[in-house]
Structure formats: structure tokens, C-alpha cells
Amino acid sequence: MIGVIRVVTFEDQRLLEEHGNIIAAKYGLDVISVCIPNQPYGIYNDETEREAVPKIIDLATRLEKDGAEAVVVSCAADPAVPELRGRLRIPVIGAGSAAALVARGLGLPAGVLGITTNAPQVVKDTLGDLFVGYAKPQNVTNTKDLLTFRGQQQAVETTRSLLEQGAKAIVFACTGYSTIGLADVLRRELGCVVVDGVEAEGLFAWYAVRTRA
Amino acid sequence: MIGVIRVVTFEDQRLLEEHGNIIAAKYGLDVISVCIPNQPYGIYNDETEREAVPKIIDLATRLEKDGAEAVVVSCAADPAVPELRGRLRIPVIGAGSAAALVARGLGLPAGVLGITTNAPQVVKDTLGDLFVGYAKPQNVTNTKDLLTFRGQQQAVETTRSLLEQGAKAIVFACTGYSTIGLADVLRRELGCVVVDGVEAEGLFAWYAVRTRA
């Protein structure tokens, strides 16, 4: 079993399990999804990240005790991932580092698509000299904006501009793109390699768990 | 289709296809295996690496022209991988960087198991501060030594010493370990996470190809 930690508080079980369900469906893994308490708006600045870190550590520690073989922090900023790696014995995977590492494995210059003003530091650092640029769709400031046709159209246009800057792969720096299935839209419309954070974290989790004896 | 480049000259088709067959079996990919000419002993020092690089570039360029969607250089030293990444439009994957990147994705301190005197630079550099140490089994100097019971026993003992040094994952720095199936032996006998170069290069190739539109 792998544990998937969401860094937003969900009341709705279906929303809570969205990332875990993608991973379960794609890789055939047994997944438990949990979320941090009392942060309905998730992490959106340094203060809310500081607030979330001990909650993520609590959840991950409990998941390890309950027999999780790997823990996934399903957020492109990899919150609490460095802290957890010093504490747990099992693999700890973050959506941001996982996506950037897949792009590095393929060796493709990467454009990063997010919804915030800047790329998450972990994504930029991990890509190193493969980092081509960062962009966010105009007028998209939260994941709900991505649910509109206009939001998705803008995401395609923004991706096109990253490809024109020399990117050969697009790395998602927001897991909201995973839940709307943007990767397949971009692959179909633009024919580029897209690295989706939830797919990437699942890929590493699958390798860690499925190849175990 | 993905192209798998072996950096040893094989006369025997079965040996040539060993890595490609592992990838095809594990990930269900369509694989073509090719090898460099006139180097029956492969790459074993700087001179033989320099000799191999233009041959690998030739093969990879031809594979891309023939429609390969990704090229894999199936050697833990990643020979010609940096050169190819500037030339081809498709993903170029090396066994050494792929294995080290998977260990980084899991965030586990990694011991590197090889057969040469030192760890391949690309593996060490890619692991960064996750690198715990490097070791080779005593009396094993080429992949044929790995085919003996004694050679495999020594590989298990060497791995145990890397785990005692604090490694939580073992990264293979020789694809000879893949062909003898050492990863499953170590997983079973020592219960550790093992990152096998051929499995890792296949994992990235699978992601690049299978998620394409």
C-alpha cells in the first residue's frame, strides 16, 4: 500500500481521492489518500506552508506505522519532503521533484507550467540547466479556473509559448493540471512530451513498491 | 518503438537483445536493439569510450530517422548521452542517470554497486548528497564473473556492507547485474530497495512513449 497525502483539507471524499485514484488506475497500486486538517485553501504562501509541514509529518509518520510502503506528498512544491526523508525509512516522493526528475531522465529541455507567479523552487533546482522557462496561463490563479473551457484554452496557448522558447517537454508545477487531465490534451494538440506530477509520483511509487520482493 | 543501444559488439543476437527483452517484457514496449561495431570488449577505459561515442551517435541518429520515439544508451556510464541530447529531438535515456534519478525520486540514501574500481561519475553526480558509498564484489572484474554462484554470493555480501554504511537503496552501476537478475535476489534476501539500470531506463522510456497521444 502507498499513502498519498493531499495538502488541502477536503470534506468531499471524492475530491480527496482524486490523485490517489489516478495513481491506482494508472499503475494498479493499492492507495490510501489522506489530507491535512484545517487548511481548506491548502498552501499558498510561506506561512501556510510552515503551518502545513508538521501536519504532513504527522500524517506520513502514521502512514508508515500503518504499513505504507511509500509515501507520496502530492503537491508540486514538495512541502515537508526534505523533513520526511530524514525521518521515515520508506521512500518519500514529492510531485514536484518527481516530475522534474522524469524530465531529467529523458534529458529534454523543459518548460514549466504552473498557476502561481513563480515556478516552485524544487522544480527549478531539480531541472537545473534543462529549465527553459516558466509560465502560467493568463487569468488563471487557482485550480478552479482550470475547470473552464477558457482556462484550458489558455493553458494550451501558454504551453505553445513554452515550446516556442525551446522546451521539448512540459513539466506541470501544479497538480490541478492532473485532475483536469490537461496532459493528454497537450499531448494530443501539441504532440509534446508532458510530465504530469501525479503520473510522475505514481511512476516512482510503482517502481519502489512493485519491484519489491 | 524505442531503440536500445548496447555499447559492446555482440555476434550473438540473443545476447544483443538481452536488455531490450527485459524492457519489452517488463513494460510491454516495442524495442529494437542495436550494438556498436568492432568493440567486442565494450567500454573499459577513456580511450575505448572516446572510440565508442561517434558510433553511438551514428546508431542513435539512425534510430531517430527510423522512427524511434526514444533512444536508450544501455550502459551505466551514460556514454554519448550528453552529446546525443544536443542532437536528437527525441528523449535520450542513459542507464546510469536513469538509475540514479529513480533513487533521487524516492529520496533514499543510496549505495552504488558496480564492478569497476570507481562509481561512474554520472551516477555519483546525479545522486548528489544521497550518495552513501560505492563498492564492487571482491574478485569480480567483469560481467562473466557474475554468472558464477560465488560471484553472486559476493555481490550479496557487498550489498550488505553498503546497507550497513547507511544505504537504504542500492543502485546498480553495471548493467551486467540486470542480465543476471541480481535485483530480485537482493530484494528477496535483504529486503532493500534496488534500482536496476535496465529497469530504470525502461521506466523512463515507458513514461515517454506510453503517455504520448
CB contact B208 to A (< 8 Å): yes
Q: Provide the shortest C-alpha distance from residue B198 to chain A (in Å).
A: 12
Strand A92-94 to strand A70-73: parallel, antiparallel, or no bridges (unpaired)? parallel
Q: Which residues of B touch A188 (CB under 8 A)?
A: 213
Q: Do B191 and A213 touch (CB under 8 A)?
A: yes
Higher pLDDT, A139 or B171: B171
Sorted by sequence, the CB contacts under 8 Å of residue B4 that are 6+ apart come out as B19, B20, B23, B31, B32, B33, B34, B72, B74
In this predicted structure, what is the pLDDT of residue A141?
77
Contacts with A202 from chain B: Cβ below 8 Å? none
Cα three-residue angle B150-B20-A186, rounded to 5 degrees: 135
And the C-alpha cell for A104? Answer: 531529467
List beta partners, residue A3: A32, A71
Question: Average of pLDDT values for A100-116?
Answer: 96
For A171-188, what is the mean pLDDT?
Answer: 93
Contact between chains at B104 and A108 (C-beta distance less than 8 A) = no
- pLDDT class of B141 with cuts at 50, 70, 90: confident
Query: What value does the mean pLDDT take over residues B135-145?
Result: 83
Give the ranges where A75-196 is alpha helix by DSSP (H).
81-87, 95-106, 121-127, 149-164, 176-179, 182-190
Which residue carries 542495436 as its cell? B34
| Mean pLDDT estimate for chain B | 94
Q: Which residues contact B170 (CB under 8 A, 6 or more apart)?
A: B110, B111, B112, B113, B159, B162, B163, B186, B192, B193, B194, B195
Q: What percent of chain A has pLDDT over 90?
A: 85
Tell me if B168 and A89 make a contact (CB, 8 A cut-off).
yes
- The verdict on B183 touching A (C-beta cutoff 8 Å) is yes
Confidence class for position A90, pLDDT limits 50, 70, 90? very high
Convert the pLDDT of each residue in A93-104 to its tens digit: 999 999 999 999
Residues 6+ apart with CB under 8 A from B163: B111, B170, B190, B192
Q: What is the mean pLDDT of residues B4-20?
A: 96
Helix, strand and coil percent figures for chain B, each rounded to 5: 50, 15, 30
Domains of chain A: 2-95+200-210 (3.40.50.1860), 97-197 (3.40.50.1860)
Q: Could you tell me how many CB contacts below 8 A there are between chain A and chain B?
A: 99
Answer whether A92 touches B (CB < 8 Å).
yes
* Of B146 and B100, the one with more pLDDT: B100
DSSP strands (E only) in chain B: 2-6, 31-35, 70-73, 92-94, 110-113, 131-135, 169-172, 193-195
What's the whole-number mean pLDDT along residues B123-148? 90
- CA of A193 vs chain B CAs: smallest distance (Å): 7
Q: Is the pLDDT of residue A212 over 80?
A: no
| Residue B105 and residue A97 in contact, taking contact as beta carbons nearer than 8 Å | yes
CA-to-CA dists, residue B42 to A158, B21, B55, B77, B198, angstroms: 45, 20, 12, 12, 17
Which pLDDT band holds residue B212 (cuts at 50, 70, 90)? low
**Distance of alpha carbon B61 from alpha carbon A175, whole angstroms:** 35
User: Is there a contact between A85 and B107 (Cβ–Cβ < 8 Å)?
Assistant: yes
**Residue in the structure block whose three cell numbers are 502530492:** A74
Q: Which H or E element spans position B155?
A: helix B149-164
Measured CA distances, B45 to A137, B52, B53, B60, B120 (Å): 49, 11, 12, 22, 11
A187 and chain B in contact, CB less than 8 A: yes
- Cβ neighbours of residue B148 closer than 8 Å, sequence gap 6 or more: none
**Which residues of chain B make contact with A211, given a CB cutoff of 8 A?**
183, 187, 193-194, 196, 199
Which residues in chain B touch residue A196, judged by CB atoms under 8 angstroms apart?
Answer: 211
Please determine, for residue B119, whether its predicted confidence score (pLDDT) is greater than 60: yes
Is the pLDDT assigned to residue B43 strictly greater than 60? yes
Provide ipTM, 2 decimals.
0.95
Chain B environment of A2 (Cβ under 8 Å): none
Check B91 against A203: CB less than 8 A apart: no
Find the mean pLDDT for residues A76-83.
97
Q: Over the range A150-171, which residues count as b (16 or more CB within 10 Å of their CB) and which as e?
A: ebbebbeebbbebbeeebbbbb
Residue A148: per-residue pLDDT:
85
B107 inside 8 A of chain A by CB: yes
Q: Rounded to whole angstroms, what are the CA distances from A212 to A20, A128, B154?
A: 20, 31, 21
Task: Calculate mean pLDDT across residues B98-118.
Answer: 96
Which residue of B22, B87, B92, B106 to mutate against A (max A Cβ within 10 Å)?
B106
Half-sphere exposure of A124 (CA within 13 A, CB side): 8
Distance from B140 to chain A by nearest Cα, in Å? 25
Residues B25-52 have a mean pLDDT of: 94
Q: Which parts of B90-181 are beta strand (E)? A: 92-94, 110-113, 131-135, 169-172
Residues in contact with B122: Cβ distance below 8 Å, sequence separation at least 6, in sequence order: B76, B77, B78, B81, B94, B96, B97, B100
SS3 of residue A132 by DSSP = strand
pLDDT at B99 (0 to 100): 98
Mean pLDDT of A184-188: 93
Buried b (16+ CB within 10 A) or exposed e, B69-94: bbbbbbbbbbbbbeebbeebebbbbb
To the nearest whole percent, how much of chain B has pLDDT over 90? Answer: 85
Alpha helices in chain A (DSSP H): 13-16, 18-27, 46-65, 81-87, 95-106, 121-127, 149-164, 176-179, 182-190, 197-210
Looking at the predicted structure, is the pLDDT value of residue B144 above 90? no
Give this prediction's pTM. 0.96
For residues A12-27, give the mean pLDDT.
96
pLDDT over threshold 80, residue A208: yes
Q: Residues of chain A with pLDDT > 70: what percent?
A: 99
